[in-house]
Amino acid sequence: MKWRVRCDLAIEDEKTARKVWKAVREAKDKAVVIKPGKPEEERPHGDIHECHHDQTPSKPCKIIEEFK
């Protein structure tokens, strides 16, 4: 059995968003790959990005950093 954490947070200020992202990056080093090498392999993944979905007209998101 594994413990799994998933979240998607839209945060108003960059300072808080980057603090959360730093914690996620540090935690990913303890994450494991589920069923490695199999077709149903599940790898840790995440990103921090500028989200413009609240704007009119909306613009595409801009990925700042990611891991896969």
Render pLDDT for 7-63 as a digit per residue (tens, 0 to 9): 999 999 999 999 999 999 999 999 999 999 999 999 999 999 999 999 999 999 999
Whether 21 maps to a domain, the answer reads: yes
Number of domains in the chain: 1
Whether 28 maps to a domain, the answer reads: yes
Q: In this predicted structure, what is the pLDDT of residue 21?
A: 97
Whether 9 maps to a domain, the answer reads: no
Q: Is the pTM of this model over 0.85?
A: no
Residues 6+ apart with CB under 8 A from 52: 58, 59, 60, 61, 62
Q: In this predicted structure, what is the pLDDT of residue 28?
A: 95
Instruction: Give DSSP secondary structure letters for 49-66.
Output: EE--TTSSS----EEEEE
Whether 7 maps to a domain, the answer reads: no
Whether 4 maps to a domain, the answer reads: no
Domain span at residue 35 reads 17-67
